[in-house]
Every structure is written in structure tokens, then in C-alpha cells.
Structure 1
């Protein structure tokens, strides 16, 4: 039996209504009703008072597997049946010899330890149940009381108009600035609104900056994908989560992809020749603004040569190989013939984008 079922059985056994039991505990009938329906758990003080009132241990009330005396049988009218035949008596066991004083003292000590453990278990159970109830309420709020619309088509009939855009945050290139606007077709009196962004177990929210339509913006980490919702909460507490828009492959969209190699696949002598650098821009918002070729030895820079980014060659008009590799191609002449040895150097290119981020690639 659950704790609520035990409280209900004991209350009926003591011929108390929910209102009468609430009065004895200084609580409302609704509080007792919630206990018996297992929608709430009594506090420790209330459990102790119930234990005293009904003459049962707290542990018996809390533990589902604890022995519990059966309530008197009731007839169809809800009164105890007085005409039921008495159960046949079973022969009583012969009396055991009186235990000695040491055994009684030991039993009393064990009883005290048991009561202390029961109290600790009861308190732990109450805390766990409170956490479970909180999680259950959160889940119910997200799933049972909400209508979530996930992206299915390119149109959304929930809104008369809606829009969303994303860009790198100009103040922090490791974050995204998301702006959104939405005007629901249906709005209830007293309904409040907020925007939600969900991404792989993370979420962010904000109040609309304007109404009619609702609009706002959020700065979030540079995640790879997300979905935007407009959460509308009615006067009755019910929530509608209306899908606004979603984005994917954002890390690729806001990045540069760089490859570098010696022209014709070789250098002429030592570190001399032309280096071909190809840059692919993931999206229109990210562009290369500067670059350089760097020669290092044991992690220390030895030489560098600027890459002429302004003289970039667009992939348009080039053969399929160039068009496949990227948006821009840079040719940089290197003439470092005065180096001691050729095997201990590391050669790479560095391309800086318009947000100050540096993308590198080894020269092969």
C-alpha cells in the first residue's frame, strides 16, 4: 500500500472525515485529500502527528512493504459489517517462559536503534519524494500541459508572421546572436509570452522586447544546431510552445576551411616556390581578411610571409578542381634558401577572418 492509501485506511478506521482529520492536524481538507491521492507527501511533523494519532510507526506509513494492519471490512453502505461470521479461533501457542532482564534491556535497545533508523529513512524518503514530485511536475509541465510543434514543413500555420536570423556575436566570436519575431494567429486574454531556444539538452529564454508582433534576441554559445519556440502561458497556467524556426550546421556555416600545398606539389629548392592556399567560406557572413605563411622550428617562428588576401582569385571561372576546393585561392611566393637543413622546420598558413579568428593549415 502507498502512504496515501494507508492514511485513507487509518482515517476510515478511526471514523474520521478528511475535514475532521485536517482539523486535528491544523490543515485543510484539500491537503488530506492530496495525501490520500498520493499527489503530495506529508511533512515530517505531520507524519509524526499522524503516527501519534493513529498509533502506528512513521516507518509503517512511509514504506510500501511495511506490515500494515488490515482495516475493518465495510459493507456496501460504507459501514462496518456486524453480521459477518467470526473467524474460527486458533489454538494459542503455549506461553514462553519470561525472558530475563538482560534480554528485555537488549530488546529495548534494539527498538530504540530501529526507531532512529526509521526516522532517518523516513526523512530521506520524504526528501526523495519531494525531488521526484518536482521532477514529475517539470515533466508534466513540458509534456502534458504543453503543445509542442516541431518543424515539419516550410510553413507554420500557428503564426500570421514569423522570422528568425543568426549571426556571430560582434562582441564575442565564440557566441551567436539570435534574433526572432513572431505574431501568433490566436492570442488569449491574459496570455504571457517568452522565447525559448533549445539545443542538445541546453536551453535559453528571454522575455519579448516588443509585442504585436513579439520580438527579441538572445546571445548563446556557438552551438551546431538549435530550435526557437514562442511559449505562451494562459491565465489557467497552460502553456503552448509554438515552433518558430530551427538552424543546423552552424559551426560549419560560421567557419573557414583552409588547405595549403606547394604549387605543382613540390618546392623548387629548400623553402622556395609558390604556395597555393585555398579557403572555403562556410557562409556569406565569414570572409578572410588577412593571412600569412609561417615557418617554425621547435615551436619558434623563424620566417613569415604575408598572403595577399586582397588579390584573391574567386573560384568562378576556374576548372572543376579549383571550384570544388573553395571560394578563394591565394598564391604566395616563398624564397627562403638560406636555411640550415630542411627536415626540422614546420610550414603552415594562417588565415584570419572578419571576426578576428585564426584558421590554420599545414603546407603539404
Structure 2
């Protein structure tokens, strides 16, 4: 059964012809297997960059993949393309734009084919009812020629209105075509810009940091598009103030890696790689790291703690406690102390502290801590009208950081009944002593 009548069918056929599984194709495109499955079942349409990448992987033109031209292999990947497809009399295909920002004939043809396909969907179609209406208008026109002149004038006006409407539709369609062509051209230009990149893949991880020394530790790896046995690599980091730091990379097969690279903390670090082969060195930037600063690497903490004041006592009752502590995505941080702290007004020292050593043990045992406790708790302090109370969890980690996460904040004002404190929104960066 021919399953190449749809874009999804052609993608599936191309993948199988290339001997790739859905997962393998997804890895080469940087998407999930589920995304490839949706494309092949026509439940979703790939973006242009993925379409072009697949056409190269399958060894066909993008027009053939889209079904807007006969199937033909891409020169250099399948059998050589005929001269008329290469745009010359038999010489090598010219894939270099003649001027900055211009496309080759082949890429322009593909962009126009894609744009035309979308334009066809945007063009107004005449339904049977509208055709009948137009036919009736023609009969009325013939009849009007035989009737009074005033009816002919009325029909003339109707025809003028119709012309204006058609002109408006043409203008809208032209604008849609212009916008779509610009989008397609922009995406293709971005892809062409990447052709000069010497790196096919890279990976960067912040593995550690030192608050006292104000440094971060990186592990950086790149996979070059081309390399030989004598190829060497080095990495350069440029900080936001212009300072530069370099380190040599170690090669394993086709991957060049620099581990335990210590750099100063900085709000923006630009990383680039330099590859040297046969005495020739080429370099290319590949990633910008943002917010590599103290405080950017923390345990992820959240939750809530219901707060109510007892009538007549001036004390506060807390209901269900919901607390979760999760690891930082990149750095292995461990809590050394977890405390529930109550801060009254703008005091820098807590009014009351409830240590939670079992939360530390739970995190160390399983790598996270989810805590839910329905037991009520009553504060030892007595609050007056106008007082504020902040309930926060205070966590100290094994890197010497202490952070606070607000679970509840309330104000006990005259405008509320004694057992209904007024909730207060506080900054996510709240610290003791900060006004609420």
C-alpha cells in the first residue's frame, strides 16, 4: 500500500529507506521520538528547519519531501542530480548565496513551493451556493438591460462593490504570501548561517561552585563536524567585562571535552571552541551561559502552611503543612539543616524555630523530600493588631548557602475578624528583616 500520499507517509518512507528508527531520527534532529511519530501519522507538521534537515538525511529534495516536485536525490547524498536541477550545465551545485542574505536558485524554488502550498490553502474558494449567486447575478444583469435604466445603475453599483471586495481579498492574500515568504526566507537564511559552524553538537554543564572563591566549575564537550587524527581543540570563555579564559580539551573518538574548568562567576559567559588541524585553526562560539552567579544554584523549595489566629488568645494556629524540597537541575546540593521559622514584623531573628532534622535524612535517603503534615501547631508568641507574621522554611546546604522560602505571610489588622488574618504577597527573594 502506497503511504507516500501525505507528508507523514513520505517522512516514514524516507526514514525507513535511511535505515533509521523513529528514536534515531529524533536524536539526529534534536526532537523526541513522539514528535517523529506525530509527523508520520500526520498529527503534526515539522518546522521548516526539521524538514530541510530530514531532506538531507533522506537524500531527497525538500520539494520531493513536501510532495510539490518529483522525488529526486540530493547531490552528494544519493545519485548525482541532473544538470537542470543543479542550476548549471553540469558543474557542481552552487549553494553559496551570490549576495549577503540572498538564497540560491534551488533554495528559492523550495521556499516558493512551500509558500505556494500555504497560499493555496488561503485562497478563497467558491462554494456551490456562491456560484449559483454569481449565476443569478448574471441573469439579473441580462434582465436589467431590458428593463428600466435605474435597475441597470443599481446592478452597476453592486458590481462595483464586488470589484472592491475582490480587490480587498487579493490584497489580503498578497500580504499573506509576502509574510509567509519572508518567514520561509528568514528560516532558510538562519539555516544557511549555521552551515559555517564547525560544531555539530555540544554539551555544557555547571557541575559545582564555590561561594567563598566566587567561582563556577564547568564540564564542556563539543563534537566537530569534521576532524582528523591530528585535530586538537581548546575552549575560550569570555566574561561580560571582556576577560578571557582558555583551557585545552581532551579528545575521545570524535568528542573533545574539558572537565573541571574553573571560571569566575559572571552574569554572562560566552563559550567558543577552536579546532586546529594540519596547522589551520578555525573557531566558533557555541553557547552563552546566563546567571552564573552566587545564589543562582539552589535547592528548589516550595509549599504552603495554613495560618489562622485563635479568637481572643492573640496566638496563631497553623494547619496542614505542605513542603517539598527538590535538587538543583545541575549541581548536587545536599541540605544540612531544615528549619521552620516564624518572623514577626521586620525582625531579622525568628520569633520561633521548629527544627526538622528528619527532613534532612529523608532528602539524603531518596534525593528529595515531600512532606505533608495535617497536625495543628500553635505559636508560642502573642500577636497584636497590626503585626505581620511570616512563616518561612530556612535551609542551609553543604555549599554554605542559607536560603529562605516563604510558606505563608499574614497581617492582623483591624479590618478583619480575629480569626481571619489578611494574606500578604511577598517577594520570592524575601529575607528576614525585609518589609512585607
Task: Decide: shared fold, TM above 0.5.
Answer: no
Q: Which has the higher helix share?
A: 2
TM-score between both structures, scaled by the size of structure 2: 0.34
Which one has the largest radius of gyration?
A: 1
Which of the pair has the greater relative contact order for Cα pairs under 8 Å at 6+ separation? 1
TM-score between both structures, scaled by the size of structure 1: 0.40
